[in-house]
Amino acid sequence: DPRTQLSSCPGKLEAFLSNGAKIKRRTTVGVRCTAGAKPWKIYLPVTVEAYAKVMVARHPIAPGTEISANDISWSKRDITSLGYGYLRSLGDKGGYQSRQSIAQGAVLTPNMVTASSIISKGQRVQLNSNDGPVSVSMMGIALQNGALGKRILVKNLNSGKQLEGVVASDNTVLLN
């Protein structure tokens, strides 16, 4: 650029972000030269594009529908323009259920889905409690539906007490 008076860099140029800056679609990147007699740095506006395969709806999906591999296809998209994020897989055990209507061709985002329940209300579950070297296991009944990693209420079959725990698998709840 003829407007700048930067000397040629005898070493490698280094690109950097300012403290606290995040990579967004439009951002500013610093470029510096630390080699030579006159080190310098300059800030440049850039437009970032990053492409990845994302899940898109193969057909319209109604609210409350369990989403399966038959409901999605993969499409290469610029993920820097996906402000609400995107899903990378159908999830762990249980998968996803649509929260809202999803249009055909729409990129599936985290706010469009909720984790599917892997424990049903009334289901017998194993309750596990670990406190240091002591581990206790007992049977219980789920008082709510629960998705993997979510907190639910359960009832201890021995004591009849109502407890809260985290769903660890399709038949296990961890108590703390």
The torsion of the CA quartet 163, 167, 173, 175, rounded to 10 degrees, works out to -50
**pLDDT tens, 139-174?**
999 999 998 888 999 999 999 999 999 998 889 999
Q: Tell me the mean pLDDT in the region 33-37.
A: 89
- Provide the pLDDT confidence category of residue 92 given band limits of 50, 70 and 90: low
What is the rounded distance in angstroms from the CA atom of residue 140 to the CA atom of residue 161? 10
pTM of the model: 0.60
The model's pLDDT over 103-116, given as tens digits with 9 standing for 90+, comes to: 999 999 989 998 88
* Mean pLDDT calculated for residue range 39-53: 91
Domain ranges of the chain: 14-47, 51-115, 118-175
Query: How is the chain split among helix, strand and coil, in percent rounded to 5?
Result: 5, 50, 45
CATH T-level topology, domain 51-115: Type Iii Antifreeze Protein Isoform Hplc 12 (3.90.1210)
Task: Output the pLDDT for position 84.
Answer: 85
Which helix (H) or strand (E) segment is 66 a member of? strand 66-67
Q: Which residues contact 3 (CB under 8 A, 6 or more apart)?
A: none
Nearest to 25 by CA among 51, 53, 49, 52: 49
Location of structure tokens 């219980």: 140
Higher pLDDT, residue 102 or 133: 102
Listed range (40-44, 88-92, 162-166) with the worst mean pLDDT: 88-92
CATH class belonging to 118-175: mainly beta
